[in-house]
Structure 1
Amino acid sequence: MSKENHDTIFPIGEKNEAFAQYFIGQSYLNMLSTTRVSIGNVTFEPACRNNWHIHHEGGQILLVTAGEGYYQEWGKPAQKLKAGDVVNIPPEVKHWHGATKDSWFTHIAVEVPAEGAWNEWLEAVNDEEYNKLS
């Protein structure tokens, strides 16, 4: 499936060059809001995923709008996600999210506002770990 044929609610946006160093594979970002609450439409090509990371203070909410993907917290099994799923990520939880091997994946990422909130980007989800997922 090409970028043009990926069925999404909001436009996919541009290649996510600003955060490319924290992703394996190609992602796209369309910021829907940067005022008061940061909300981004994030699209992952098949097998694309972000690095392990932690949202300090505020946390994050993911609203899955298209495709299939994964969400995994450190020390727990990965959860498969599909359109309509919601993931509420508390602050200070190490996690990653991204597409399955054979599907595009899109979610709305809502950064929960909090004083002093910031993201800590960590190690990549290596191919060996990722390829164990079914």
Structure 2
Amino acid sequence: MNITRKADLVTVEGPEDYFTGKATITGQFKRDEPSRLTGAIVHFEPGARTAWHTHPMGQTLIVTEGVGWTQIDGGGKYEFFAGDQLWCPADKKHWHGATPHAGMTHIALQETLDGRNVTWMEKVTDEEYLAPVMKD
């Protein structure tokens, strides 16, 4: 068993190339083969969001705090809340982040394929980010 204590988790700023606004990434990990699991805890300040991106094996988000928005390219934008779990299928271009008025934290889990767990793309525009939220 390998235990990483909370006090030992490293927090880094979300790279400006991949995030708009302030986001922090804590406890980023990659498991040894044969596992393909990678993950981290990501916190978004109000207004912060990822760039468009894909994951070769899909991505699970477990929302632990706050309120956020997400969108798959070509689809509507949806709101989610603490306690919700999101699944984005493999290779679907998407983004996620906080709303303008509330921060959001999630645990992000994804797998690697051929050594890659994410492909980053262009930033989400303000127009895309501020588009109306879809109703369930």
Q: Percent identity?
A: 35
CA offset digits 1:70-117 (Å, max 9, x no partner): 111011111101011111111110000000000010000001344454
Higher fraction of helix: 1
After TM superposition, which residue ranges in structure 1, 4 or more long, deviate above 6 angstroms?
Answer: none
Q: Which residue of 2 aligns with 1:84?
A: 83
Q: Distance in 2 between matches of 1:38 and 1:15?
A: 16
SS of structure 2 residue aligned to 1:38 = strand
- Residue 50 of structure 2 contacts residue 124 of structure 2 at CA under 8 Å; is this kept in 1? yes
Q: Distance in 1 between matches of 2:105 and 2:120?
A: 20
Paired AA for residue 86 in structure 2: V
How many residue pairs are counted as aligned between the two chains? 123
Gaps of 5+ in 1: 1-9
Aligned-residue CA RMSD in angstroms?
Answer: 2.1
Q: Which residue of 1 aligns with 2:94?
A: 95
> What TM-score, normalized by structure 2, do the two folds share?
0.80
Q: Rg larger in 1 or in 2?
A: 2
Q: Distance in 2 between matches of 1:101 and 1:81?
A: 14
State the 1:23 CA deviation. Answer: 0.5
Q: Distance in 2 between matches of 1:129 and 1:107?
A: 21
Q: Distance in 1 between matches of 2:20 and 2:132?
A: 16
